[in-house]
Structure 1
Amino acid sequence: MEVGIFDILLLFSSLAISLAVVVPLAGVLVRFRANYNPKSLQLDPEDGPQPHTGPIINSYFGMFKRVYQLERLSGLYKGFMPTFLSTTAVTLVLLLAMDDPKPRHGRYSAPDTGVLGTLFYGILMSLIGLPTVILTYRSTTTPHKLPWLNLMQSLRVLLTPTERRRPWVLYLTPGLLAAEFAHVGYVTLVLGTLRRLLLPALSKPGIPTPSDFPPLRTIIYISVVVVSTVVLTPLEVISTRLAIQRNHALSEHNSVSQEVDGDAEDLPEYSPEEDVIGLRNEEDPYIGIVDCAQRILQEEGLRALYRAWWITMLGGLAAAFT
């Protein structure tokens, strides 16, 4: 299929409109899940009790309101550039390499190659997209006003010297790949396999007809997708927490020990008087996916692992029938 100038303009216009809507909503979700809100007193290095002074936000819409109040419209579009660049790159690849003018927006959209082929595709896309996910989450949660057109200065703020010298360290972020792979594996092996068994028409070319949705099978599948929120939401919260946890100078005992980095000192902040969200102290990092889950439960409670669960559920239902 030949792609004309009009098709390209239409495609990128549609992309721009989509990002204008999606970026603020996704950015608020990242902040809500990243916000550190311990339920008890914390101890300082001298074991003295210190009350937590960060914001207490208990809902997605409460976080949306707080972001707008403190950072205004520009704050809602933090993380736009890495999202725009990565989405544009994927779109160009689809246009030039796959000759397909319709970009796939789904996280695990893949050619119909069977369960194992889809799993391999999902894992590969996770590996390719991991640096972008990290940069997007960190640019969304940083209090600093990053320059939109100065990539190197932004990288000096978002990445530690260790990460800039050895970019592959991003893949060694404790527990992050495990959380991402667990998410891909569950979506592909459990939900994907079940969809093929119960609603095979959705995996075939063409538009399904009402007869392709037997009531009992459809109800069973929808129920499983809804229940799967119990598994997928904690994985998404954990991935968010681990992605914003920076890797500092390597040492014998702690791969995230601190190093001096003053690259953000000259940049203004969106809200210098009050933090929009609270972030966990990097001097006491999560050391893996299990450790992250346990600490969130111990320090913040079960609700923290299920922040914005309804967004995960709605996303799962939307993806189930596309």
Structure 2
Amino acid sequence: MIYTLFFATLLFPLKGALIRCRANFTPKVQLVPELPLVDDLQHVSQPRSLVGVLRRVNAEEGIDGLYKGILPTLGFMLLWEQMSIPSIVVIGYLHFGVYDQSTVLIIAIASLVKIIATVIEAVFVNRAVTTREDISSFSLRRALDALLSPTERKHPYRIFSIPGLLATCTLWVLYIVGTIGARHFLFVKHLPENFGNWEDMRPHIPLLVGAVIFSFALNALVLTPLEVMMVRLSIQAKATQVVLLLDTPPVETSGPVRLRTDKDGYTGLISCARLIIEEEGWDALHRGWWWTAFRGILFI
């Protein structure tokens, strides 16, 4: 576990930059023609690549910005390590279990736990990375004030009613569970029991290569848009809050990336996908596809 946390800490700036890159609002046209572009006000170009976001964060926020959000990320990693249920049970049963009634029930319960935890993790981690406020490492109350809206602080269950987020996380988990099950029936069952015997494995090499390529492509095409929408939907409630303090800079003109703060926000999963395509193009839905594709091959 120590090595896992070490490598997660080492690679976290890349993950944080990926979250910001997916949250970055880059409209194809200026939505209000009478106003100058945000980029013109900042005299800089809007970063559209992972490397560009990394450079911008490092230039504007330094090392603290690169590691903003690491504490909730490591906290959820420890949670999954202690629980070990939603991921390991599902993967284990789908690959090696006997598909009877009890197995289906266990998979359903584990998947439900995974969905609930994924919603909570998306809200806290994505907001911690993209927030313009300083998050206190030693004050839970101040951290919650920075990450949750007033309504969510008063009624924490409201994070499950964020438009489209629960549906997106549900589809994300169902995709993972479904692809694991499909791989078991279409691929794993056809492999020999002795993986160490090369003569037994050699005839199955084309099937193995084909499965990896298909999984790579499917993750890039299907899983990536879901993860992009998870980021957008999870941060929307905080990004669209009205600023009441006169000495607080406008949200659009601060921070390494620009968040979508229009009054007409995403109203659901379909609305999120439609507006991203209309305002920013198809490319915005597949930001970081290589990250999701490679990572997906490892656990799906």
TM-score bucket of the superposed structures, by smaller chain: 0.7 to 0.9
| Aligned equivalent of 1:53, options 35, 38, 47 | 38
1:216 match: secondary structure: helix
- CA positional deviation for 1:212: 4.6
Q: Is the 8 A contact 1:199 1:218 kept in 2?
A: no
Deviation sequence 1:171-219 (CA, Å, 0-9, x none): 01111111111122122213531244212388x8x97665457123213
The aligned counterpart of 1:142 is 131
| Aligned equivalent of 1:38, options 27, 30, 38 | 27
The aligned counterpart of 2:42 is none
- CA positional deviation for 1:237: 0.5
Select the structure that is richer in helix. 2
Do the aligned partners of residues 207 and 83 (structure 1) sit closer, same or farther apart at CA in structure 2, a change above 3 Å counting?
Answer: farther
Show the 5 A alignment for 1:25-174.
25-43=14-32, 49-54=34-39, 56-93=46-83, 108-111=87-90, 112-114=92-94, 116=104, 117-118=106-107, 120-174=109-163
- CA positional deviation for 1:109: 3.4
The aligned counterpart of 2:211 is 221
CA RMSD, aligned part only?
3.1
Moved more, 117-126 or 76-85: 117-126
Which amino acid in structure 1 is aligned with residue 80 of structure 2?
V
Moved more, 139-148 or 60-69: 60-69
Structure 2 length as normaliser, TM-score?
0.81
Moved over 4 A (4+): 206-210, 258-262
1:176 paired with 2:165, answer yes
- CA positional deviation for 1:64: 1.5
| Aligned equivalent of 1:307, options 257, 281, 287 | 287
1:174 match: secondary structure: coil
Q: Is the 8 A contact 1:226 1:316 kept in 2?
A: yes
Do the aligned partners of residues 91 and 188 (structure 1) sit closer, same or farther apart at CA in structure 2, a change above 3 Å counting?
Answer: closer
- In structure 2, stretches of 5+ residues that fail to align are 40-44
Supply the distance in 1 between the matched residues of 2:89 and 2:55 (Cα, whole angstroms).
36
- CA positional deviation for 1:159: 0.9
Structure 1 length as normaliser, TM-score?
0.76
Q: Is the 8 A contact 2:19 2:126 kept in 1?
A: yes
Do the aligned partners of residues 296 and 225 (structure 1) sit closer, same or farther apart at CA in structure 2, a change above 3 Å counting?
Answer: same
Supply the distance in 1 between the matched residues of 2:120 and 2:130 (Cα, whole angstroms).
16
- In structure 1, stretches of 5+ residues that fail to align are 1-10, 99-106, 249-255
2:62 match: secondary structure: helix
The aligned counterpart of 1:101 is none
